[in-house]
């Protein structure tokens, strides 16, 4: 990929994981919401994804997009997800079409399908011996308005793929934490995404050929209720981490070679 890749939400946690892993792999164009504390080593701009002008400036000259910017709070109120997540994502897609962008990677979420975690299925579905799996072919079942906004982002991608031909990959990100999986949180351990696997799955989404995809972005955890088979098959995702290899903050086992 010769042209720059636009990374929105570059100042956030997922942005940090991607940049730490892929700093030198791409020519990045970074979009921040507020001026970064340190001068980045890459081209950047400050703007809001709900501003048409800011989004057009961000999109100028890029051929691929990783769109992370938005309100990430599961408890975010409607006004915020409507503006930052839904309207912002629609403006991003519209500008991507105008620019002739080929590939659009969207940060979707486990919360787009949170209502599959029913009282009958939990906590068993979070445990290693449970076989229940979501695989990305199921309809969204959000458990909050934030999840509704992520499901809407996926549907916007469907529309822009079908009508304008963009390649779209929706990554339903699990729970990204640095260094080790969440502690005393079975659900979080089941959907843990390590920093290096986060960078790797986004690299795969920039490199692979596909039409429209919904995949789960989690590490290869023994506990899991999201299948990573589609990500492996279509994107070539080969995760290195597993929350079962940790005892609290301590790594107690190495990945198999
Ligand atoms: N961290 C996680 O475990 C997960 C994250 N996600 C999604 O990944 C994306 C990134 O999440 P995080 O890095 O964790 O959040 P974060 O809050 O650390 O980063 C989000 C960034 O987006 C920026 N932003 C927010 N509204 C904006 C707007 N209107 N215009 C421009 N920039 C704006 C913020 O300033 C922030 O730097 C979000 O879309 C989130 O919903 C999804 C599932 C799990
Ligand atoms: O989509 C997201 O999911 C993660 C994990 O969800 P949680 O309910 O286990 O906290 C969350 O931490 C992140 O903020 C959110 O954007």
Q: Confirm whether 12 is domain-assigned.
A: yes
14 lines ligand 1 (CB under 6 A): yes
Q: Confirm whether 167 is domain-assigned.
A: yes
- Model pLDDT, residue 234: 98
89 lines ligand 2 (CB under 6 A): no
Q: What is the CATH number of the domain that holds 150?
A: 3.40.50.720
Q: Confirm whether 87 is domain-assigned.
A: yes
- Is the separation of the CB atoms in 95 and 59 below 8 Å? yes
Q: What residue has token string 């700093």?
A: 23
> pTM score, two decimals?
0.98
Per-residue pLDDT of the chain (257 residues; tens, 9 = 90+): 778 999 999 999 999 999 999 999 999 999 999 999 999 999 999 999 999 999 999 999 999 999 999 999 999 999 999 999 999 999 999 999 999 999 999 999 999 999 999 999 999 999 999 999 999 999 999 999 999 999 999 999 999 999 999 999 999 999 999 999 999 999 999 999 999 999 999 999 999 999 999 999 999 999 999 999 999 999 999 999 999 999 999 999 987 77
Q: Confirm whether 196 is domain-assigned.
A: yes
What's the CA gap between 117 and 127, in Å, rounded?
Answer: 13
Q: Confirm whether 178 is domain-assigned.
A: yes
Per DSSP, 134 falls in state B
Q: How far is the CA of 73 from the centre of ligand 2 (A)?
A: 7
150 is in an annotated binding site: yes
Residue 146 is a catalytic residue: yes
The b/e string for 155-182 (b: 16+ C-beta within 10 A; e otherwise) is ebbeebbeeeebbbbbbbbbbbbeebbb
**Apex CA 191: angle with CA 147 and CA 67, to 5°?**
50
- Ligand 2 pocket test, candidate residues 109, 183, 221, most atoms within 8 A of CB: 109
CA contacts within 13 A on the Cβ side of 224: 22
107 lines ligand 1 (CB under 6 A): yes
3-state helix, strand, coil in the chain (%, to 5): 40, 20, 45
- Model pLDDT, residue 104: 98
What stretch of H or E contains 107? strand 103-109
Q: Confirm whether 185 is domain-assigned.
A: yes
Q: How far is the CA of 71 from the centre of ligand 1 (A)?
A: 6
Closest ligand 2 atom number to CA of residue 187:
9
What's the CA gap between 166 and 64, in Å, rounded?
Answer: 10
**Catalytic choice (44, 93, 146, 225):** 146
84 is in an annotated binding site: yes
User: In total, how many domains does the chain have?
Assistant: 1
Q: Confirm whether 256 is domain-assigned.
A: no
- Model pLDDT, residue 254: 81
Q: Confirm whether 257 is domain-assigned.
A: no
- Model pLDDT, residue 1: 74
Whose CA is closest to 31, among 86, 70, 73? 70
Full domain range(s) for residue 232: 5-251
CB atoms within 10 A of CB 100: 11
């Amino acid at each position: 990929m010769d042209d720059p890749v636009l990374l929105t939400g570059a100042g956030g946690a997922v942005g940090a994981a991607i940049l730490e892993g892929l700093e030198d792999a791409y020519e990045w164009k970074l979009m921040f919401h507020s001026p970064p504390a340190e001068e980045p080593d890459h081209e950047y701009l400050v703007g809001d994804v709900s501003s048409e002008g800011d989004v057009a400036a961000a999109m100028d000259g890029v051929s691929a997009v990783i769109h992370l910017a938005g309100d990430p709070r599961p408890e975010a109120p409607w006004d915020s997800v409507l503006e930052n997540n839904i309207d912002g994502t629609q403006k991003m897609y519209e500008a991507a079409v105008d620019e002739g962008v080929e590939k659009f990677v969207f940060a979707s979420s486990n919360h787009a399908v949170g209502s599959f975690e029913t009282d009958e299925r939990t906590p068993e579905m979070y445990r290693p011996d449970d076989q229940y799996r979501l695989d990305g072919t199921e309809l969204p079942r959000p458990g909050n308005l934030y999840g509704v906004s992520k499901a809407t982002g996926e549907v916007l991608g469907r529309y822009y793929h079908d009508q304008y031909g963009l390649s779209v990959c929706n990554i339903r990100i699990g729970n990204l934490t640095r260094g080790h999986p969440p502690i005393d949180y079975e659900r979080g351990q089941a959907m843990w995404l390590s920093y290096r696997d986060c960078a790797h799955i986004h690299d795969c989404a920039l490199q692979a050929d596909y039409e429209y995809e919904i995949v789960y972005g989690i590490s290869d955890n023994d506990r899991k209720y999201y299948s990573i088979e589609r990500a492996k098959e279509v994107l070539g995702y080969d995760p290195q981490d597993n929350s079962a290899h940790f005892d609290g903050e301590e790594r107690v086992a190495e990945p198999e070679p």
